[in-house]
Amino acid sequence: MTAAPKIQGWCPGALRPMQSGDGLLLRAKTLQPRLSAHQAREIAGIARDCGNGLVDLSQRAQLQLRGIGEARLEEAQRRLFALGLLAKDAATESVLNFLVSPFAGERASALVERLAQALSNDAVLQALPGKFGFLVDDGGALGLVASAMDIRLEGQDEKIAVIADGAREYAFLAEPDAAADIALALARAFLVLRKGREFELRRMRGVVAAFGLDALAKAARLNPQPYRSSCHAAPAAEIFGVRPLPGPPSPAAGEGAYAGVGASSGRLRADELAELAKLAELHGLGELRLTPWRALLLPCPTGEAAQRIVDAAARRGLIVDSNDPRLAVIACPGAPECPQAHAPTRALAERLAPFAARLASNGAKLHISGCAKGCACPAAAKVALTATPRGFDLVEDGRASDAPALRGLGASEIEDALDARIARASTKQEPPCPAHSCPAH
């Protein structure tokens, strides 16, 4: 009988890296989605000099450096500190978890800063679990409705809707100046309600399911209102390639455009990240925007400049087209990088991408997981492949941990099974699912 995979319950940081099969995992944690070209180039240098040269784009819009050696950890931390990307201590770093619309404006940025300041200075709030986080969606283009965090703050006309995950049909509406206080009140209420059940109730949706929204609102001394979000999920066609900059023209960019560049399952090499930083300086506005879609957006003054970046990224083999079949499959690092994985996953993902692109639906169609945790895609996929000591189990319309329809498959058998699944789907009309539907974890 296969042992259950170990649930860490926290994400790696720079001050508290996580041991993996290829060394330490370290996140260059950012609060805002904006990364300067200088910072990106230096992060690439840290990945090359202190690690194995691999950088993963996480679903929380963070850059994760792999294979950091114990002997080089202090150097990596020192260099991140010089970039302004190191928290004052590990406890603070653990609770500074934000996911923000990639082109959010000053109001969203100020909201994140207020939340970060409170989290950094309040010992009570630093008891929040390591994966507890805040999402800020400005309500504009490239929305985050398909991403999940514990407390959502959504732009709603002139107000901010503060939402507890697990009860999205209700919100606490606030003026912008009061939204941070309401979000923090919900976080404190979460801590009160879960007392004595800390391991079991590590996310807001678990507390809402266990006690109900009314109990959470009462503990926070707030009154919820029925709510329907006006935010949307950004489809791949709005993310990759050359796209106009959202919002009104700016003095720096004019009408502007951006280049949307991705990587297969979010995996970049250090030299690829360094090249994108160079392109941002050469053709763009000197910055990169981080996203939860395993893509980087490079703002540019013109569409022609963005096209030059896209062309250069395509020559590198990066993803610049929303129809790229690699977008239809998502895979975790797999073995040997993850010590809990039972098999490699990345090569299989490349092999199966053409099959995944043919599965009926949009967004994350094929999920390949090295174990039953399903870290890369906690949501259901059209097909999930879960590695076991006996081969891959195949789950239809489910998660990596769900009961499989087929067990112990090799690569060729998986291809046959996917062909059969595609043939069945072609005989009936299936409802579409939103693009990039795997929530952050």
pLDDT tens digits, one per residue of 89-110: 999 999 999 999 999 999 999 9
Q: What is the mean pLDDT of residues 377-401?
A: 93
Local confidence band at 428 (pLDDT 50, 70, 90 cut-offs) = low
> What does the alpha-carbon distance between residue 37 and residue 143 come to, in Å, rounded to a whole number?
24
Residue 11 has pLDDT above 90, yes or no: no
Q: What is the mean pLDDT of residues 423-435?
A: 58
**Residue whose token pair is 């059969």:** 420
> What does the alpha-carbon distance between residue 234 and residue 362 come to, in Å, rounded to a whole number?
12
Local confidence band at 315 (pLDDT 50, 70, 90 cut-offs) = very high
The C-alpha R_g of the chain, in whole angstroms, comes to 21
State residue 364's pLDDT score. 58
> What does the alpha-carbon distance between residue 182 and residue 222 come to, in Å, rounded to a whole number?
8
Do the Cβ atoms of 322 and 311 come closer than 8 Å?
no
> What does the alpha-carbon distance between residue 88 and residue 409 come to, in Å, rounded to a whole number?
48
Q: What is the mean pLDDT of residues 189-199?
A: 97
> What does the alpha-carbon distance between residue 336 and residue 387 come to, in Å, rounded to a whole number?
13
Helix, strand, coil shares of the chain as percentages rounded to 5? 35, 25, 40
Residue 1 has pLDDT above 60, yes or no: no
**Is this structure's pTM higher than 0.75?**
yes
* Tokens encoding 115: 């939340």
Local confidence band at 318 (pLDDT 50, 70, 90 cut-offs) = very high
Beta strands in 149-256 (DSSP E): 151-156, 159-164, 170-174, 225-226, 241-244
Comparing CA positions, the residue from 420, 392, 423, 416 lying closest to residue 406 is 392
State residue 365's pLDDT score. 87
Do the Cβ atoms of 299 and 256 come closer than 8 Å?
yes
326-425 placed in CATH 3.30.413.10:
yes
**Residue 82 amino acid letter:** A
Q: Which sign does the torsion angle of CA 200, 202, 203, 208 carry?
A: positive
Strand, helix or coil for residue 214: helix
65: exposed, middle or buried (Cβ count in 10 Å: 0-12, 13-18, 19+) = buried
388: exposed, middle or buried (Cβ count in 10 Å: 0-12, 13-18, 19+) = middle
> What does the alpha-carbon distance between residue 130 and residue 122 come to, in Å, rounded to a whole number?
15
pLDDT tens digit sequence for 13-69: 999 999 988 899 999 999 999 999 999 999 999 999 999 999 999 999 999 999 999
State residue 441's pLDDT score. 46
* CA distance between the termini of the chain: 27
Report strand pairing: 287-290 vs 34-36. Answer: antiparallel
Percent of residues, the chain, with pLDDT higher than 70 = 92
CATH topology of domain 236-323: Sulfite Reductase Hemoprotein; domain 2 (3.90.480)
Comparing CA positions, the residue from 267, 257, 405 lying closest to residue 337 is 267
Provide the mean pLDDT of the chain: 91
> What does the alpha-carbon distance between residue 235 and residue 240 come to, in Å, rounded to a whole number?
9
Count helices and strands in the chain by DSSP H and E runs:
11, 21
Its CATH class, for the domain covering 18-91, is alpha beta
User: Would you list the domain boundaries of the chain?
Assistant: 18-91, 104-137+146-226, 236-323, 326-425
State residue 436's pLDDT score. 44
